[in-house]
A = this chain, B = another copy of it.
Amino acid sequence: MRSGANGSSSRLIGQQPPTLLTAGVGLFAEAAAEQGSPVHQVDWRPPMAGTEADLATVQADPRRQPANAEALRRIVGTEALLVDVLPAEVALQLDRAEFLHAGPPIEWERASGPLRGALLGAAALEGGVDQPEQAEQLFASGTGYTLQPCHHRSAVGPMAGVVSSSMWLFVVQDPATGRQTYCSLNEGLGKVLRYGAYSPDVLDRLRWMSAVLGPLLQTAVRRHGPVDLKAILAQMLQMGDEAHNRNRAGTLMLLRELLPDLIDSGRPAAEVAEAVRFIAGNDHFFLNLAMPACKLTLDAARDLPGSSVLVAMARNGTDFGIQLSGTGDEWFTGPAQLADGLFLGSYGPDDANPDIGDSAITETAGLGGFAMAAAPAIVRFVGGEVSDALAASRRMYEITVGEHPMYSIPVLDFRGCPTGIDATLVVRTQILPQINTGMAGRVAGVGQVGAGLVTPPAEIFPKALAALAARVPVR
């Protein structure tokens, strides 16, 4: 019951008035303070219920600390270069009956509205059906079309995250190993496929992206040579972006990087101008590069025996799933939550689908909600106060293994982003990872209805911990 706050922790009790060190129930601290005792309150809560044995097992595993340190080393040390832009049929050998989606695995029956809407739209885009609705039976039967998580094909997709064979993908590479990750091109906000809209204008835009934008970007990237995405991400944090729901500076820096090669591409000036207008008019364009860059660095940290570090957080609109480095490709899932935030136009909480998308890969890598202190203006998009954004970043240091040496937050005196979510720390502190996110309408076809803040369902962390504990060798 002593405090070292005044630097006198070596003095004997009784030489000065005792200072109470309180934790947990606030009433006790308040009562003590009212009675005149100096109080130093710390934020401590008991571990999640029923996790004591698994926590003890995992924490006693001598492999855990070095494995987590190695995971962090790989996450922060792996390079991420944009090296090409290719159609999914070439990059991933997707055929026209194969469809990728965000989050952990799911069947049509359990798929939410926005995921269904995006899949119907993609099916029509690929020409297998004339009208999107006709694809429903082909997905539902489980025989016509196949569904697979993006994550199982080295890809990530924002919101519904649907990828089909004709869509063009960014190709991001780690030059040290040649490992690659992939992500589609960003369509903009509002009524777009990834938010579950599939009207003719949505499909027309996707066709133009495949016919014009993709090939043009391919030409520019190949002329330019590899683009260092982590260097851009580092700059973004100095410019008010957190790389999940603010990608303004990132989009402009990508454009700046590729512009001379876009202009000199030999393609018609009108086509280049149209592409530049499209990219420049979409502040979220860089999100689809931030995501595969994050996945690439996290993939490098997979499969380290004993490591309790998260290598993926992803949502399919029904389930929220996580993967740990030390538990291979197993997903630990629970119900996706509703975000709390701001709504577009006349939409309200009843219109929103639960949390959806692979974009929480940014938080898994220390960006997004973890870096919100670098992007205080984001509260105008996701809600809350600036002080909440700062507090969110500060809180995330409690559940992460370390700080990112390249990604720093100016207003926190250039402290590195909290990086490497440790499932044992989440279980021990009950502090859940802070994610900021767009909100899709829950009805297929609606599109975006808002943006806000959300966390994973708490129960998936004890599940993951139990699986990790089960893998600890008996000594």
Q: Within 8 Å CB of A386, what residues of B?
A: 410-414
Among the 9-residue stretches A134-142, A273-281, A453-461, the one with 4 or more Cβ atoms under 8 Å from chain B is A273-281
Contact A260 B240 (CB under 8 A): no
Kindly state the separation between the CA atoms of A240 and B385 in the bound complex, as whole angstroms.
18
A255 within 8 A of B: yes
Contact A263 B273 (CB under 8 A): yes
A259 within 8 A of B: yes
A94 within 8 A of B: no
Q: Mark A288-311, 1 if CB is under 8 A from B, else 0.
A: 000000000000000000000000
**Minimum Cβ distance to chain B for residue A388 (Å):** 11
Contact B280 A256 (CB under 8 A): yes
**Minimum Cβ distance to chain B for residue A61 (Å):** 39
Q: Within 8 Å CB of A443, what residues of B?
A: none
Kindly state the separation between the CA atoms of A259 and B252 in the bound complex, as whole angstroms.
11
Contact B239 A249 (CB under 8 A): yes
Kindly state the separation between the CA atoms of A14 and B41 in the bound complex, as whole angstroms.
33
**Minimum Cβ distance to chain B for residue A144 (Å):** 43
Kindly state the separation between the CA atoms of A273 and B410 in the bound complex, as whole angstroms.
33
Max chain B C-beta neighbours (<10 A), residue from A263, A277, A380: A263
Q: Within 8 Å CB of A249, what residues of B?
A: 239-240, 248-249, 252
Contact B410 A240 (CB under 8 A): yes
Copies assembled: 2
A349 within 8 A of B: no
Q: Within 8 Å CB of A412, what residues of B?
A: 386
**Minimum Cβ distance to chain B for residue A381 (Å):** 11
Asked whether A264 and B270 contact (CB < 8 A) given A239-B239, A249-B239, A385-B413, the answer is: yes
Kindly state the separation between the CA atoms of A249 and B252 in the bound complex, as whole angstroms.
8
Asked whether A276 and B252 contact (CB < 8 A) given A386-B411, A410-B240, the answer is: no
Q: Mark A215-254, 1 if CB is under 8 A from B, else 0.
A: 0000000000000000000000011110000001100110
**Minimum Cβ distance to chain B for residue A262 (Å):** 8
Q: Within 8 Å CB of A385, what residues of B?
A: 413
A123 within 8 A of B: no
CB nearest to A374 among chain B residues: B240
Within 8 A of B (CB), among A383-402: 385-387, 390
A188 within 8 A of B: no
Q: Within 8 Å CB of A276, what residues of B?
A: 259-260, 263
Q: Within 8 Å CB of A259, what residues of B?
A: 255, 259, 273, 276-277, 280
A111 within 8 A of B: no
Contact A260 B273 (CB under 8 A): yes
A272 within 8 A of B: yes
Kindly state the separation between the CA atoms of A386 and B380 in the bound complex, as whole angstroms.
23
Contact B273 A269 (CB under 8 A): no
CB nearest to A253 among chain B residues: B252
**B238, B260, B272, B377: the one within 8 Å of A277 (CB):** B260
Kindly state the separation between the CA atoms of A375 and B230 in the bound complex, as whole angstroms.
21
CB nearest to A265 among chain B residues: B269
**Minimum Cβ distance to chain B for residue A242 (Å):** 12
Q: Within 8 Å CB of A239, what residues of B?
A: 239-241, 248-249, 377
A376 within 8 A of B: yes
**Minimum Cβ distance to chain B for residue A445 (Å):** 31
**4 tightest A-B contacts by CB?**
A252-B252, A376-B410, A238-B377, A256-B280
Can you name 7 A-B residue pairings with CB atoms under 8 Å? A238-B240, A249-B252, A252-B255, A252-B256, A255-B255, A260-B276, A386-B411
User: A252-B253, A255-B259 are known contacts; what are 9 more A-B pairs with Cβ within 8 Å?
Assistant: A239-B249, A239-B377, A240-B240, A240-B249, A252-B252, A256-B280, A263-B272, A376-B410, A376-B411
